Amino acid sequence: MMNKEQYMASLQKLHPIIYCNGKRIENVVEDPMTRPHVNSAAMTYELACDPAYENLMTATSSLTGKKINRFTHLHQSAEDLVKKVKMLRMIAQKTGTCFQRCVGLDAMNATYIVTHKIDRECGTNYHERFTNFMKYVQENDFMVAGSMTDPKGDRSKKPGDQVDPDLYVHIVEKKKDGIIVRGAKAHQTGMVNSHMMLILPTTNLGKNDKDYAVACAIPVDAEGVTHIFGRQTNDTRRLEGDIDTGNSEYAIVGGETLTVMDNVFVPWEHVFMCGEYQYAQEYVEKFASYHRQNYGGCKVGVADVIIGATATMAEYNGCPKASHIKDKIIEMIHMQETMYNCSLGCSYEGTKTEAGTYYVNTLLANTVKLNCTRYMYEISRLAHDIAGGFIATLPYEKDLKNRITGPLIKKYFAANPNVTTENRIRMARLLENMTGGTALAESMHGAGSPQAMRIMLYRETNIEGKKKMAKQLAKIKED
């Protein structure tokens, strides 16, 4: 396992092409725009080396028997699924934001199951290849970006029917030693500070979409790969100082890219699906359900910080005992613990797959994320309510530090006499940044949009069974 420093050093050996705000980022570890994202991900390395967190952060490899970082682990039990959730909540309490590494973890676990099935049914040897890849990842303690979401182009058309064939990643050519792929993946969390990306399909595919049925692993700095870093709410504040950005150490959300693959070569040993379109749907569902499970972990940890910041703001404002404030904080707790509870439930109800690993309960996992798409907004709303109008009109950090305006701000934004105005502003800025724009949108669309969960909830429910129960009680006889 790597520690934090080793992880950072390892990133500096890579040379991905990353654009951000019109310029190339040469060093993701040092660049102020990406550094906080690196710090978040680094937490997954740091804590794994801390004996206090060994139980949650590490596991014993089912492939090598060695102690590994849990983020490279293939789940061997329902308990492993539960530990994932608890680990995610715990790390998020320390970063207050996305630490990115679960996407790859979920992609790897989904791939392990699906390659096993394809091989069994089609006689291919993807599973063996992938098992070797997993060993390689575990041994190097790589951070792997799970790369699923294609740009999708015209939503009313399937991949093979798009005017521009590149709007979903596809196989351009099969060669003796590997394949050439082309296209892009959007919304790629953690990509700029990963070592590898694991490509998988984004939707169910039909016969005409055969070339789009591709799964493979690619180094982030492979030839032909270009990353364009997305912008987030208030992101450039971090160029100005450490207060206004709120969570200056770890940023607010994951840091996503549009990652373009312009005829990238992938050797066969890193190809895990190549044309078996009929497995795309299961692949997507497996990955999505694993990933939806997470939101009752990481977002609940984020909510821990939001609730803590809110309770602190009430105190800093001088009104921590007001009954309506306590009531709103209870409501926030109720929502976060409902999400957490759902994540635990769907994990404990996980079952063994034919590949030998464990998979969450699909129906229950989808409730987790659907709750999240509502509750994180509601938690943010209540946080705003308690924090006060202050969070919308705070002066600039530079004005706080200015010789003339600084003393005025300190004088006039003082509240609770035991708290410095700077601390009050710091807490307000943390809250402002954790509850706005990109952070909310991420709670909505990460791991799939609400409608995707709703479709799954219906599909996984036995409606006919429920009808029978009702007819039985209503004493209805039908032929």
Give the annotated binding-site residues for FAD: 189
Residue closer to a second copy, measured from CB, 93 or 124: 93
Answer for which of 3, 6, 226, 278 binds a second copy (CB under 8 A) is 226
Strand 23-24 to strand 17-20: parallel, antiparallel, or no bridges (unpaired)? antiparallel
**Residue 319, interface with a second copy (CB under 8 A)?**
yes
User: Least CB distance from residue 34 to a second copy, whole Å?
Assistant: 13
**Residue 388, interface with a second copy (CB under 8 A)?**
yes
Answer for which of 15, 175, 324, 352 binds a second copy (CB under 8 A) is 324
Alpha-carbon dihedral 175, 181, 182, 183, rounded to 10 degrees: 160
CA distances from 378 to 111, 293, 342, 371 (A): 35, 20, 18, 10
Q: Tell me, yes or no, if 372 is annotated catalytic.
A: no
Q: Among residues 20, 216, 298, 346, which one is catalytic?
A: 298
User: Least CB distance from residue 115 to a second copy, whole Å?
Assistant: 27
What six digits make up the tokens of 68? Answer: 């590994």
Buried b (16+ CB within 10 A) or exposed e, 406-419: beebeeebebeeeb
> Cα separation of 151 and 147, whole Å?
12
**Residue 437, interface with a second copy (CB under 8 A)?**
yes
Q: Tell me, yes or no, if 102 is annotated catalytic.
A: yes
**Residue 391, interface with a second copy (CB under 8 A)?**
yes
CB atoms within 10 A of CB 314: 21
Say if residues 252 and 233 touch (Cβ distance below 8 Å).
yes
Residue closer to a second copy, measured from CB, 63 or 319: 319
Question: HSE-up of 425 (CA within 13 Å, CB side)?
Answer: 23
> Cα separation of 343 and 85, whole Å?
7
Number of residues in the chain = 479
User: Least CB distance from residue 65 to a second copy, whole Å?
Assistant: 28
Answer for which of 284, 305, 355, 372 binds a second copy (CB under 8 A) is 305
**Residue 461, interface with a second copy (CB under 8 A)?**
yes
For tokens 């705003």, what's the residue?
384
Q: Among residues 256, 276, 315, 397, which one is catalytic?
A: 256
Contact flags string 184-213 toward a second copy, x per CB under 8 A = x-xx--------------------------
**Residue 289, interface with a second copy (CB under 8 A)?**
no
Residues 141-160 that bind a second copy (CB under 8 A): 149, 151-157
Q: Which stretch binds a second copy (CB under 8 A): 44-52, 59-67, 93-101, 267-275?
A: 93-101
User: Least CB distance from residue 349 to a second copy, whole Å?
Assistant: 6
Residue closer to a second copy, measured from CB, 141 or 304: 304
> Cα separation of 340 and 85, whole Å?
8
User: Least CB distance from residue 121 to a second copy, whole Å?
Assistant: 31
What six digits make up the tokens of 35? Answer: 């550094």
> Cα separation of 72 and 64, whole Å?
12
Q: Tell me, yes or no, if 256 is annotated catalytic.
A: yes
> Cα separation of 10 and 6, whole Å?
6
Q: Which stretch binds a second copy (CB under 8 A): 111-119, 216-224, 269-277, 345-353?
A: 345-353
Q: Which residues are catalytic?
A: 98, 102, 189, 256, 291, 295, 298, 442
